[in-house]
Amino acid sequence: MLFLNPLSTDAQKIAALANYLGMGSPAETWYQDQIVNQVTMWADVTQEFNARWPPIESARQMSEEYQMELLEHRLLEEEIGIIKTVRRQKVWTHIKWEEEAMELVRLTGIEKGSTLIWQVKKQLPKAIHRLLDDEYMTWDKFTKAVKELNMSKLKQEREEIEERKKQDEECDQKLLQRVEAAKRAMVADLMAQLQRLTIGQVAVPRSAPERAPHPRNPPPTQFTLQQGPRHTTTVLEMFPHQQPDKEGQKAYLAQLAVWTAKHGNVTRIMEHMLYPLKPGTVAICSGECFCCGTHGHGSCDCPTVEGDMSRLSHNEIAWRALCNRVLGLINRNNALNVRLVALDEQGNKVGSL
């Protein structure tokens, strides 16, 4: 819409209008046309102008949108005690926050009640939250309380909060250091126990018999092969398969501890990660079931389920499958035939070898 300060005559208003138009703009061209046509009435100029450039209605947000904006209007802990400029006046940041929040409240139309007060109050920094009352019935009382906060008490409250936060971080750091030290000591102790154990070497045949034929389109595998069968065979000789007795169980647990300390909680077994074999299971690469480590059935037909005592860990299952794929059945003719006893034959709910 077109408005000018009151002038004496229509001619003065029309002449003054030229000062508000950009040089070479469409509005200036339109103005020149009005002069050529000798338009002398200001009312006619206004009508022609508004017809050429109709007023545009400003976008208005809904009350719900203003409420969302109010809830997103935050004051950060680190901003407390900082000076900002509002309407050319220097004020504390919490005063600036209060002015902006109250404007949103007015636009929302909830200034007469207590709607959203507790939600907004909950989002304030702890230093401010602790100096306010528990409940406010109107926005005027709430924002007035924020505006009238004692700055000395507010700064002191913030310093105490920061000091407590620093102390908590130091305690957490010390606790983490103690946990890491205990972990390193435990791993070192297990390594020492493993070195003291007398572990014989398991001979692995260098020349493998003829491998069983593989299907033309083998199923995709999740394992990554790096250096081939020769490397994997060498790795197999590093950790011997323990006997199912007390000493064997002890050595097996030590092997597991060493493996975990070295590789952590990996989700993908690769051919350089020798995984200890559970005592009592059959030799690797002997045509065994990967799920329970016995003969007589395949992995797809294994009667064990997740959680059974006879069920192998996911890592050992993956390791046996990987070795079988890389090396083939190199121990089929050398391994003892061990079968899984049926669950109902044991008289209990857990199968055994």
Show Cβ contacts of residue 350 under 8 Å, excluding neighbours closer than 6 positions: 308, 309, 310, 343
* Res. 10: pLDDT tops 80: yes
Paired strand residues for 224? 270
* Res. 238: pLDDT tops 50: yes
Collapsing DSSP states into helix, strand and coil, what is residue 189? Answer: helix
Rg of the chain, C-alpha, whole Å: 41
Give the residue extent of every domain in the chain: 10-52, 63-153, 229-345
pLDDT category at 291 given cuts 50, 70, 90 is: very high
* Res. 276: pLDDT tops 70: yes
Show Cβ contacts of residue 168 under 8 Å, excluding neighbours closer than 6 positions: none
pLDDT at 216: 52
pLDDT at 144: 92
pLDDT at 343: 46
How many C-beta neighbours within 10 Å does residue 275 have?
Answer: 22
| 58-103 pLDDT, tens digit each | 767 777 888 899 999 999 888 888 888 877 888 898 999 999 999 9
- DSSP-derived letter for residue 1 is -
At 342, list the tokens: 């049926």
Show Cβ contacts of residue 102 under 8 Å, excluding neighbours closer than 6 positions: 111, 139, 143
Query: For 307, left (φ over 0), alpha (ψ -120 to 50), or beta?
Result: left
The mean pLDDT value of the chain amounts to 79
Cβ contact 353:300 at 8 Å: no
* Res. 237: pLDDT tops 70: no
Instruction: Read off the pLDDT of each residue in 232-257 and give the average, rounded to a whole number.
Output: 77
- DSSP-derived letter for residue 53 is S
pLDDT category at 56 given cuts 50, 70, 90 is: confident
Strands 89-92 and 83-86: antiparallel
Amino acid making up residue 308: D
What element of type H or E holds 195? helix 151-196
pLDDT category at 312 given cuts 50, 70, 90 is: very high
pLDDT at 179: 84
Task: For Cα atoms 144, 145, 147, give the angle at the middle one, nearest 5 degrees.
Answer: 60
User: How many Å apart are CA 113 and CA 309, to the nearest integer?
Assistant: 64
Task: For Cα atoms 215, 220, 224, give the angle at the middle one, nearest 5 degrees.
Answer: 120
User: How many Å apart are CA 128 and CA 146, to the nearest integer?
Assistant: 8
pLDDT at 339: 82
Cβ contact 341:347 at 8 Å: no
Collapsing DSSP states into helix, strand and coil, what is residue 141? Answer: helix
DSSP 228-271: -HHHHHHHHTTSPPPPSSHHHHHHHHHHHHHHHHHH-S-SS-BT
SS (H, E, C) 305-349: CCCCCCCCCHHHHHHHHHHHHHHCCCCCCCCCCCECECHHHCCCC
| 186-222 pLDDT, tens digit each | 887 777 777 766 444 444 444 444 555 554 554 444 4
Show Cβ contacts of residue 138 under 8 Å, excluding neighbours closer than 6 positions: 111, 112, 113, 114
Cβ contact 139:117 at 8 Å: yes
pTM value is 0.37
User: How many Å apart are CA 176 and CA 211, to the nearest integer?
Assistant: 52
What element of type H or E holds 92? strand 89-92
pLDDT at 234: 52
Residue whose token pair is 């006879």:
310
User: How many Å apart are CA 340 and CA 41, to the nearest integer?
Assistant: 108
